[in-house]
């Protein structure tokens, strides 16, 4: 039976998020870094950014949508950390499909340092019993760019002990085309969506492709906006959903797990550019 807390409804979970940091570019508040305390256990609580806004105030992120309660703004999530679900929802099991398991983990900030335009965090990824299964050093930096603002994100993952840690997900566990896990951005409801890379246009063409950047342009409540994410130090495939729900991400374990070895950090760095967009979606 599906546990009551899986519904994600307010009456099923009394805790609320705490805002750890307010991101400001000039005089404008463009994002909040939340601790994720308002997330139910079965949605794998973790820190994330929401609401993320353009300089003109258009909100381009969503959290806890009705179709996937575990989708939280812009954040880092991995469906399989040595058998711990740090993504949320059902766990994909090869030959069985998605099943509910008591394997949900959580991510918590245990140390932080901040200046006006950057934030450094130390995080622990924990299993259901509280055991630390992964450590992360996260660095965020923000500033202005022409027509908008930018956010640099770097995550350095470390094994917590002397044993290697495997990071995986449905893709590495046998579900073809569903290699989600890593940096993930759930967008606010939007229309007139155009997703592209330098070489491909549209969900089907971009999904699973490898390219230096991915761009999402759409009409949101309040106006059109454009989000571009660059991969700064890796060549992971891009994950795209447009018809089913609006989201993009970088697939850390598209077909096979990634191993974090003791003493050898695994680093993934990105640059997101968020701009207000008055151009026609069919334009260049």
Q: What SS3 class is residue 167?
A: strand
Is 38 a residue whose pLDDT tops 80?
Answer: yes
Residue 283 has a pLDDT of 43
Is 2 a residue whose pLDDT tops 90?
Answer: no
Q: What's this model's pTM, rounded to 2 decimal places?
A: 0.94
Cα separation of 43 and 46, whole Å? 9
Number of helices followed by number of strands (H, E) in the chain: 1, 20
Mean pLDDT across the chain: 94
Is 150 a residue whose pLDDT tops 70?
Answer: yes
Residue 28 has a pLDDT of 96
pLDDT in tens, 44-56: 999 999 999 999 9
Cα separation of 64 and 67, whole Å? 8
Cα separation of 212 and 253, whole Å? 17
Cα pseudo-dihedral 215, 216, 217, 220, rounded to 10: -150
Q: What SS3 class is residue 224?
A: strand
User: Model confidence at 12, in pLDDT bands (50, 70, 90)?
Assistant: low
**Average pLDDT score over residue span 59-66:** 98
pLDDT in tens, 163-174: 999 999 999 999
Q: What SS3 class is residue 244?
A: coil
ω into residue 57 within 30 of 0, thus cis?
Answer: no
Cα separation of 216 and 172, whole Å? 26
């Amino acid at each position: 039976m599906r546990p009551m807390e899986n519904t994600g409804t307010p009456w099923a979970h009394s805790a609320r998020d705490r805002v750890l940091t307010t991101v400001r570019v000039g005089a404008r508040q463009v994002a909040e870094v939340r601790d994720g305390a308002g997330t139910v256990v079965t949605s794998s609580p973790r820190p994330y950014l929401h609401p993320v806004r353009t300089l003109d105030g258009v909100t381009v992120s969503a959290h806890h949508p009705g179709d996937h309660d575990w989708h939280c703004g812009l954040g880092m999530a991995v469906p399989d950390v040595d058998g711990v679900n740090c993504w949320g929802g059902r766990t994909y099991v090869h030959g069985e499909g998605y099943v509910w398991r008591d394997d949900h983990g959580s991510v918590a900030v245990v140390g932080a340092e901040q200046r006006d335009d950057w934030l450094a965090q130390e995080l622990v990824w924990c299993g259901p019993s509280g055991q630390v299964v992964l450590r992360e050093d996260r660095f965020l930096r923000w500033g202005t760019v022409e027509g908008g603002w930018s956010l640099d994100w770097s995550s350095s993952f470390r094994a917590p002990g002397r044993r290697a840690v495997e990071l995986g997900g449905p893709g590495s566990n046998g579900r073809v085309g569903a290699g989600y896990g890593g940096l993930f951005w759930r967008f606010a409801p939007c229309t007139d969506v155009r997703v592209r890379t330098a070489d491909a246009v549209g969900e089907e063409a971009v999904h699973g492709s490898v390219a230096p950047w991915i761009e999402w342009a759409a009409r949101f409540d309040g106006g059109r906006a454009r989000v571009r994410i660059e991969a700064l130090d890796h060549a992971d495939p891009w994950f795209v959903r447009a018809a089913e729900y609006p989201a993009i991400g970088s697939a850390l374990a598209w077909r096979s797990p990634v191993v974090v070895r003791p003493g050898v950090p695994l680093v993934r760095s990105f640059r997101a550019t968020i701009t207000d967009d008055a151009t026609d979606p069919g334009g260049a």
